[in-house]
Amino acid sequence: PVNRSTAVQEARLKLPILAEEQVVMEAVRENPCVVICGETGSGKTTQVPQFLYEAGYASDGGIIGITEPRRVAAVSMSHRVAQEMNLPRQVVSYQIRYEGNVTSDTKIKFMTDGVLLKEIQKDFLLQRYRVIIIDEAHERSVYTDILIGLLSRIIPLRNKKGMPMKLLIMSATLRVEDFTDNQKLFRTPPPVIKVDARQFPVTIHFNKRTPLEDYTGEAFHKTCKIHRMLPPGGILVFLTGQAEVNSLCRRLRKAFPFRRGNTGLFPGQSSCSQADSLPCIDLDSYSALPMDEGDEDREAGVGDEEDGDEDLDLGDDPADGNPSIPLYVLPLYSLLAPEQQAKVFRPSPPGTRLCVVATNVAETSLTIPGIKYVVDCGRVKKRFYDRVTGVSSFQVTWTSQASANQRAGRAGRTEPGHCYRLFSSAVFGDFSLFSEAEITRRPVEDLVLQMKDLNIEKVVNFPFPTPPSAEALAAAEQLLVSLGALEKPPQRRTVKEMQRAQLSCPITALGRAMASFPVAPRYAKMLALGKQQDCLPYILTVVAAMTVREIFEEPAHSDEENSKITQRRARLTQMRRLWAGQGASLLLGDLMVMLGAVGACEFACCTPKFCEENGLRYKAMVEIRRLRGQLTNAVNAVCPEVGAFVDPKMNPPTEHQVLCLRQIVLAGLGDHLARRVQAEDMLDPKWKNGYKTPLMDDPVFIHPNSALFKTLPDFVVYQEIMENTKMYMRGVSAVEAEWIP
């Protein structure tokens, strides 16, 4: 029996999913797999695990497992459910890549999807679990897709063994055909339970014009207007990335300064006690204009005439607005420190209006209480990979109609709301209907290796909800063969035979070792070679740093350019030069800089102060530390005689070790080789200082921030190529011509 507080009980009863408890539990009893669709905020994530717990699915040693594509959600949802159920966190726990609070008493376990995939490798039948819930399946993250494919096989196996397990797939959208109408996945289509969203109507306002460049500026003006003119209610702004979010937060805070103690406007108001109670605002001191008078937007599909909105503009300088209440501005994005993230769930100070400026994280996984207005820039930042060259780039693109509608829905959870789209209805009409599954958009060598390790030899036959392209699978297999993780396919006579053989290469002993390291196969190969010349501590560090990525703080630019920032930049350049070392170590290039940075940071006990002063991202450094620990354990498990350990006071590598490190790095990044163009190629100015790679016609370059920018070695290997103004190699290290096979 669960002992919930009255407040929690009341809040639960308002959630639409509560009305479906019987239906859900009956479907789960009768079917091995059930799909639940319900709008964000309907209570799926917090309530369904509780239904299952109360129905006894966690009794006699069984566990209820819930996977989330995002770490933020796994952590915050486990806390929330523990609190609702009045159970300690040893019982309702979470596990994410580097940390968790799971104990032998754990009954409900929230985890990232990657964590469950690892567990399947250890115990294919997942015997400790009685139920697995795959949450946020609509996000179509790669691991979610793979898990659903694997579980479609595990569930019948468990049934056959007389220890049945249940699978629940939960989605915030109704688009679940990839799971239900897929004979390869589930021969009998699983039942779909639709949870009625008790969603209040949201009025959609499209912009007449679509700002092509300055949509953050547009978001600023729109938010100011809402705050100055519209009745109380939280504002949620969707932008694409951290830098944009921070910059808008700064502008808004400047326009509507908020100081603690500045809230005497509403005497007698106690500080809010409930998470979702709105600040109560005295309408008499508030200049509320009716919607259609003060607003320059038009509603969806109504009216087509364009009339300039300038004449309706009530002065663009927000300071003119003299808003009667302060704006309480909070950022929300994945890289934000957890304690900062948690702020959005807490009541905003009394007498203020909450304004959350967020990236996509607020689209479905987290429900922020009290939002009445949504401002949507209509864009999303995604990583794109070139299928042939592997070049990746972050690009801001239009989102999908489904996503835009999800975002709009955030405004109607507590009362009717409004969504302001910073684009026209015509532009919306051109959006794709749905976002593509991630698995079709990225290289898959890591997945292929994991699958081979699960003894799935013919990866092409795997029941993917949406299969990756045949080329992507073939490229992955080829890379793994070249790294020695898979056996070379035997020579065959016909092309068909060759192709078939190439898609079913068995895993090697090296491949098994590599699969046990939770990093990309190229880096796993380096770890496997790391024990030579006592290089392991360095390789562990470099691999951890390359996996965590973005370890340097990028000093903000544009609007805030001032001497302080120039100073910080200079300091960072100076530190990078120092970390790059001297003499032989220079040739290890950017990887030496990473090694030096992590070494220095650990030496200084990895304090936030040290990171701040030296331009290192604190959160990244903490992650690197954890990953080093995890990788060290993984290496010791495969090869106990090396006795690897994390040494916080690591000496810099010797000259001889640097040479060895460079060779190990080449063994992992061998397909990421680039040659400096020869004098005769340099007739074309675009090739000046350029490098040639095997797969590309265009030159790639060493970035000015790179430790090798001045050296320009003849041959280099790189971690990745990012395209922004030019194609830049990142994580560059020099190699010698005679090492290249």
Would you say 170 or 515 has its CB closer to Mg ion?
Answer: 170
Near ligand ADP by CB under 6 A: residue from 20, 35, 44, 152: 44
Stretch 613-642 residues interacting with ligand ADP (CB under 6 A)? none
The DSSP result for 88-115, as a single string, is -TTTEEEE-SS-B---TT--EEEEEHHH
Query: What's the closest the beta carbon of residue 108 comes to ligand ADP, in angstroms?
Result: 13
The least CB distance from residue 30 to ligand ADP, in Å, is 23
Residue 49 in contact with ligand ADP, rule: CB under 6 A: no
144 binds ligand ADP (CB under 6 A): no
Binder of residue 730, out of Mg ion, ligand ADP, none (CB less than 5 to 8 A by kind): none
Distance, in Å, from the CA atom of 621 to the CA atom of 612, rounded to the nearest integer, reads 11
- Rounded Cα distance between 192 and 170, Å, is 10
CB of 486 closer than 8 Å to CB of 508 = yes
> Under the criterion CB under 6 A, does residue 76 sit at the interface with ligand ADP?
yes
Q: Which of residues 404-463 bind ligand ADP (CB under 6 A)?
A: none
Provide the angle, in degrees to the nearest 10, between the axes of the packed helices 521-529 and 445-453.
Answer: 60
Contacts of ligand ADP in 680-719 (CB under 6 A): none
* Sheet hosting strand 202-206, strand order edge to edge: 298-299, 202-206, 417-421, 371-376, 234-238, 353-358, 327-332
Residue 40 makes contact with ligand ADP by CB under 6 A: yes
**333-352 binders of ligand ADP (CB under 6 A):** 345
Which region among 38-46, 85-93, 121-129, 206-214 touches ligand ADP (by CB under 6 A)? 38-46
* Residue 76 binds which of Mg ion, ligand ADP, none (CB < 5-8 A, kind-dependent): ligand ADP
Structure token digits, residue 642: 């090396």
DSSP, collapsed to helix, strand or coil, labels residue 625 as helix
- Name the strand (E) or helix (H) holding 393: strand 392-398
Report how far Cα 614 is from the mean position of its chain's Cα atoms: 26
Is position 15 an interface residue for ligand ADP (rule: CB under 6 A)? Answer: yes
- Quick check: 43 binds ligand ADP (CB under 6 A)? yes
Minimal CB distance residue for Mg ion: 45
Alpha carbons 404 and 206: distance in angstroms, whole number: 12
412 binds, among Mg ion, ligand ADP, none (CB under 5 to 8 A by kind): none
- Min dist CB 414 to ligand ADP, Å, is 8
Q: Which of 450, 397, 402 shows the shortest CA–CA distance to 172?
A: 402
- Which position among 24, 37, 46, 732 is part of the footprint of ligand ADP (CB under 6 A)? 46
> Between residues 275 and 642, which has the closer beta carbon with respect to ligand ADP?
275
- The binding site for Mg ion (CB under 5 A) comprises 44-45
| Residue 379 Rama label (left phi>0; alpha psi -120 to 50; beta) | beta
Q: How far is CA 227 from CA 222, 294, 352, 415, 475, in A?
A: 9, 12, 10, 17, 52
In the complex, minimum distance from the CB of residue 345 to ligand ADP, in angstroms, rounded to a whole number = 4
How far is the C-alpha of 170 from the C-alpha of 148, rounded, in Å? 11
Which residue among 32, 41, 49, 690 contacts ligand ADP (CB under 6 A)?
41
How many CA atoms does the CB half-sphere of 690 hold within 13 Å? Answer: 20
User: Of the candidates 141, 223, 263, 367, which one interacts with ligand ADP according to CB under 6 A?
Assistant: 367
3-state secondary structure of 124: coil
The window from 42-50, 181-189, 260-268, 372-380 that contacts ligand ADP (CB under 6 A) reads 42-50
Interacting partner of 367 out of ligand ADP, Mg ion, none (Cβ under 5 to 8 A depending on kind): ligand ADP
Q: How far apart are CA 353 and CA 346, in angstroms?
A: 13
CA 628 to chain centre: 21
Gap between the Cα atoms of 145 and 137, Å rounded: 8
Q: What's the rounded Cα separation, in Å, for the pair 590 and 710? A: 12
Query: Whose structure tokens read 């005689």?
Result: 641
Q: How far is the CB of 370 from Mg ion (least distance, A)?
A: 18
Q: From start to end of 164-290, where are the E strands?
A: 166-171, 192-195, 202-206, 234-238
Which of 23, 192, 275, 622 is the binder for ligand ADP (CB under 6 A)? 275
Provide the minimum distance between the beta carbon of 151 and Mg ion in the complex, in angstroms, as a whole number.
19
Residue from the set 28, 45, 372, 379 that interacts with ligand ADP by CB under 6 A: 45
CB of residue 170 vs Mg ion: minimum separation in angstroms? 7
Query: Which residues of the shown chain bind ligand ADP in the complex (CB under 6 A)?
Result: 15, 38, 40-47, 76, 80, 275-276, 345, 367, 369
